């Protein structure tokens, strides 16, 4: 991978444990890091974000090589992994920290995000109105170290085995058939 030409994208699609795990399996993704964006407190902790009072969303910041995986492909994965019609929740995870959000860094990236949103909504994959925010990126705060690669270390934790594991299996089947996954 050519580290000089890497790009980043930051978005939230519910609990970051699943989103991070899936993106780290994709060809062309250099890293996917769980963290927090969109809030008003510097250096928030997981416990603070969980209260909903800091304004942050649980997000994943993805560093990728656009020569291997495109922004549009990353957006396809993003909309595959979560339900963008659920306001401030994903399944039983409820609160503004679980909102669907794409953070953009400039007008060109904003236009790409809005186009990806329209394309996904027009696909009919999810019934209902999309509530995904397209918001100016300000700051990314990495989550605590124990959140990084959480599913890989804790696959038998009850939430992981009941929610994250099945979602990852569905992801691996679909994107594996498309040839988008790294060799295991």
Query: Is the Cβ–Cβ distance between 49 and 34 less than 8 Å?
Result: no
Verify whether residue 15 is a known catalytic residue: yes
d(CA 110, CA 112): 5
Q: Say if residue 89 is exposed, middle or buried (CB neighbours under 10 Å; 0-12, 13-18, 19+).
A: middle
DSSP bridge partners of 90: 93
Q: Which residues of 98-135 are buried (b: 16+ CB within 10 A; e: fewer)?
A: bbbbbbbeeeebbebbeebbeebbeeeeeeeebebbbb
Mode of pairing for the β-strands spanning 100-104 and 133-136: parallel
d(CA 163, CA 154): 12
User: Given 15, 18, 22, 160, which residue is catalytic?
Assistant: 15
DSSP 126: S
**Which residues are known to be catalytic?**
15
């Amino acid at each position: 991978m050519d580290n000089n030409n890497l790009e980043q994208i930051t978005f939230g699609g519910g609990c970051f444990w699943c989103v991070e795990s899936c993106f780290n399996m994709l060809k062309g993704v250099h890293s996917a890091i769980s963290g927090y964006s969109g809030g008003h407190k510097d250096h928030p902790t997981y416990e603070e974000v969980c209260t909903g009072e800091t304004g942050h969303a649980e997000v994943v910041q993805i560093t990728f090589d656009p020569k291997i995986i495109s922004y549009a492909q990353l957006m396809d994965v993003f909309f595959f992994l979560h339900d963008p019609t659920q306001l401030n929740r994903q399944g039983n995870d409820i609160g503004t920290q679980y909102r669907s959000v794409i953070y953009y860094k400039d007008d060109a990236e904003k236009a790409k995000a809005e186009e990806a949103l329209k394309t996904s909504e027009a696909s009919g994959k999810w019934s209902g109105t999309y509530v995904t925010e397209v918001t100016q990126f300000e700051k990314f705060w990495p989550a605590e170290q124990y959140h990084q690669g959480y599913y890989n270390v804790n696959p038998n934790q009850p939430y992981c085995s009941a929610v994250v594991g099945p979602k990852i299996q569905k992801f691996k089947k679909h994107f594996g058939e498309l040839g988008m996954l790294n060799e295991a």
